[in-house]
Amino acid sequence: MSLLRRKTDGPDGVLGPVARAGIGAGTRPNVSFEFSPPKTPEAEETLWEAIRRLEPLDPTFVSVTYGAGGSTRDRTHRTVLRMLKETRLKPAAHLTCVEASRGEVDEVIRDYWNAGIRHIVALRGDPPGQIGGAYTPRADGYCNATELTAGIRAIGDFEVSVGLYPHVHPESPGIDHDIDVLKAKIDAGATRAITQFFFDLEGFLRFMDRVRAAGVTIPISPGIMPVSNFKGLKKMTGPMGVQIPDWLGNLFDGLDKDPDTRRLLACSVATEMCARLAEEGFSDFHFYTLNRADLTYAICRVLGVREPETAKEAAA
C-alpha cells in the first residue's frame, strides 16, 4: 500500500484542480539540482564528483546555495563560475539580502550578469548562525525577497526563481499570506518558484490547489529531499517548520546503525513521491542533493531521466 496515497477531496472521489493527466510513458520530466559551495578541499572533491555524475542527465538548471548572512558569497561565486566554465550545466546562483546594503547586493548581481549568469534564486535569507531566527532588515538594504527580485530584474533580464513554503512559512500568519507574498514576487519579476522540501504529499497538493486557484501560473518545482539520515533531518527541519509525518519516522526507527537500509528507504520514499506527483500532473522536480549524487541519480533513472543521445554521441 502506498504511504503517499492522496485521499479524495469529497465523497464522490473527485480530486482538486491540481489533478491532471500525469507524465506519460517515455515523457521526460524536467529536473533541477541544488548544491552547496564546499568548505574544504575534501568537500570540494565530493561536490565535483556529484556534479560530474549528475551533469549527463541534462538538468534544466542547477542552483548553488548562499550561506546565512552571505557567509558563502565568495565560495558560491567561484562554484557558479566554475560550473559555467567547465560544464554544460546552466547554473543559478542563490542570492540573499541579509547583512548587505543594496549597493553590495547590486554589485553581486552585476558581477553575475557580466560573467554570463542569467538565472538567480532570490531569497530573503536567514541571519548568520540563526536559521529560523528573528530577521531585521538593514536600513540600507533590500527588505525581503520581493524587493530583491525587483532589484535583480532592474539590473538585467535574469530568470528569477523564488522560494515557496508548501507548509506555512515560520514567520507567516497563514497560507493566504504566503500566497499573497508569492504573487507579489511574481509581480516584481519572478519567473519560477521552488518549494521547500516536504513529506506531507496530501498537504502539498491541497496547498497547490489553493495556489493555482489564486491565479498563479508560473512553473512551480516541488522540492524533493532524499532522506537517508533521519536524525539529521529532524535537526535540520526543527527551525524550518517542515512537517515530518509519523510514518516517515517509523520507517527509519531502529536503523541508526544500518546505513544501507536507510539509503534504500530514502530512494524508495522519494521515488514514490515523485511518481505520485507526476500522476498529479507535475513535470518539474528540484532535488536537494546535499552534494551527493547517488540517490538523486537513481531516482531520476526511475522517473525516466536519461542522458540525452546527443550527449552520448559527443562523449563517444
Q: What is the structure's pLDDT at 98?
A: 83
Alpha helices in 19-122 (DSSP H): 41-54, 73-86, 102-115
Report yes or no on whether pTM surpasses 0.95.
no
Does residue 245 fall inside a structural domain? yes
Does residue 315 fall inside a structural domain? no
Does residue 18 fall inside a structural domain? no
As for how many domains the chain has, the answer is: 1
Q: What is the structure's pLDDT at 13?
A: 36
Does residue 10 fall inside a structural domain? no
Q: Compute φ and ψ for 222, nearest 5 degrees.
A: -65, 135
- CA quadruple 7, 9, 14, 16: dihedral positive or negative? negative
C-alpha 185/C-alpha 162 separation (Å) is 8
Does residue 114 fall inside a structural domain? yes
Does residue 6 fall inside a structural domain? no
CATH number of the domain encompassing residue 163: 3.20.20.220
Q: What is the structure's pLDDT at 4?
A: 54
Q: What is the structure's pLDDT at 310?
A: 54
DSSP string, 260-271: HHHHHHHHHHHH
Q: pLDDT for 197-242, tens place per residue?
A: 999 999 999 999 999 999 999 999 999 999 888 888 888 877 677 8
Q: How many residues are present in the chain?
A: 316
Q: What is the structure's pLDDT at 17?
A: 38
Task: Give residue 137's domain range.
Answer: 30-308
Residue 242's nearest CA partner among 230, 258, 257, 254 is 230
> Which residues of the chain have a pLDDT value below 70?
1-26, 67-71, 127-134, 239, 309-316
Q: What is the structure's pLDDT at 99?
A: 83
Q: What is the structure's pLDDT at 294?
A: 95
Q: What is the structure's pLDDT at 3?
A: 53
Q: pLDDT for 225-234, tens place per residue?
A: 998 888 888 8
Which residues are registered as beta bridge partners of 285? 31
Q: Show which residues are catalytic.
A: 34
Distance, first Cα to last Cα, the chain: 43
Does residue 5 fall inside a structural domain? no
Q: What is the structure's pLDDT at 129?
A: 59
Does residue 11 fall inside a structural domain? no
